[in-house]
């Protein structure tokens, strides 16, 4: 199912696929999508904050590093987890700097993904993609 954050859907879809131009507005549009996922009850309140933060960081990275083109966010909603893929037209993901801290002003996006996501990875097969999965409720 393809949808936009402003569409009214009674129940959560199993898949959301949203594409829009890479621009300064992209992180805001991505957060709107996260808010819809939270409204559907796919995650606990704590995990909802993680989702919003991680998607915002990855979309901001796309805007910064891919520069122009299209960004695509694909979310797969299951009973026990949410998987999000952030695709852009960039060359791929660079390794993060050794010693990068979550307190650094920049370069923290992948570090946050690494710390907060249950699973994550990257691909570069015609486009650049970072994906992550969050369990519906936090790990104990």
Q: Within a domain: residue 9? A: no
Residue 137 backbone phi and psi in degrees, to 5 = -130, 155
Q: Within a domain: residue 4? A: no
- Domains in the chain: how many in total? 1
CATH of the domain at 130: 3.30.565.10
Q: Within a domain: residue 37? A: yes
Is 0.85 surpassed by the pTM of this model?
Answer: no
Q: Which residues of 25-55 are buried (b: 16+ CB within 10 A; e: fewer)?
A: ebbebbbebbebbbebebbeeebbebbbbbb
83 has pLDDT over 90: yes
93 has pLDDT over 80: no
**Predicted local distance difference test score (pLDDT) of residue 139:** 61
């Amino acid at each position: 199912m393809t949808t936009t954050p402003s569409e009214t859907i009674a129940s959560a879809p199993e898949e959301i696929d949203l594409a829009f131009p890479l621009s300064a507005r992209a992180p805001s549009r991505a957060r709107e999508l996260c808010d819809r996922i939270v409204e559907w009850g796919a995650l606990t309140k704590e995990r909802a904050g993680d989702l919003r933060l991680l998607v915002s960081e990855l979309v901001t990275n796309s805007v910064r590093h891919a520069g122009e083109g299209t960004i695509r966010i694909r979310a797969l909603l299951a009973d026990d987890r949410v998987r999000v893929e952030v695709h852009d037209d960039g060359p791929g993901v660079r390794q993060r700097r050794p010693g990068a801290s979550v307190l650094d002003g920049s370069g923290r996006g992948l570090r946050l993904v690494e710390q907060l996501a249950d699973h994550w990875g990257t691909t570069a097969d015609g486009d650049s993609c970072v994906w992550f999965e969050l369990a519906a409720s936090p790990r104990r």
